[in-house]
Every structure is written in structure tokens, then in C-alpha cells.
């Protein structure tokens, strides 16, 4: 049931890519990312690493 739906979505995506590459397609300017997004992503990564250290099981005393 999912495969036909995914095929339709994939075909639409490919068609859209080719239409964007057409010679008469409108140009879309490249918008730089905001630095706040990078800071937020870095803070979230640090928080996830801390949480992983808290949740992780302790290592065995001897291997």
C-alpha cells in the first residue's frame, strides 16, 4: 500500500527538480542560515551528550 504512494511522491519530486533546472525557471536566491540556528543546534547537541552520559549504564569494573 505504501509503495505506490512513495512512487508517486518520488516522481513528483524528480519532475520538480527538472522543472527548476529549466532555462526559463525563476532564480531563487540563496539565503544564508542564521547564526542563532547554529548556536541552538550546538547547545542541543551538548545537552544530548550530557543526557546520554546520565542515562547510559555504568561500565563493568573489569572486562
Nearest residue to 55 (alpha-carbon basis) of 63, 47, 45 = 47
63 confidence band (pLDDT: 50, 70, 90): low
* pLDDT tier, 3 (very low <50, low <70, confident <90, very high otherwise): confident
- pTM assigned to the model: 0.40
Tens-place pLDDT, residues 13-59: 888 887 777 777 677 777 887 778 788 999 999 999 999 999 988 88
Q: How would residue 2 be classed by pLDDT, with cut points 50, 70 and 90?
A: low
What is the DSSP code string of 9-59? HHHHHHHHHHHHTSTTSPP-PPPPPPHHHHHHHHHHHHHHHHHHHHHSPPP
Amino acid at each position: 500500500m505504501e509503495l505506490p504512494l512513495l512512487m508517486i511522491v518520488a516522481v513528483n519530486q524528480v519532475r520538480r527538480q527538472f522543472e527548476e533546472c529549466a532555462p526559463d525557471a525563476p532564480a531563487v536566491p540563496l539565503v544564508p542560515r542564521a547564526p542563532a540556528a547554529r548556536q541552538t543546534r550546538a547547545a542541543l547537541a551538548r545537552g544530548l551528550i550530557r543526557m546520554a552520559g546520565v542515562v547510559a549504564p555504568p561500565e563493568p569494573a573489569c572486562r
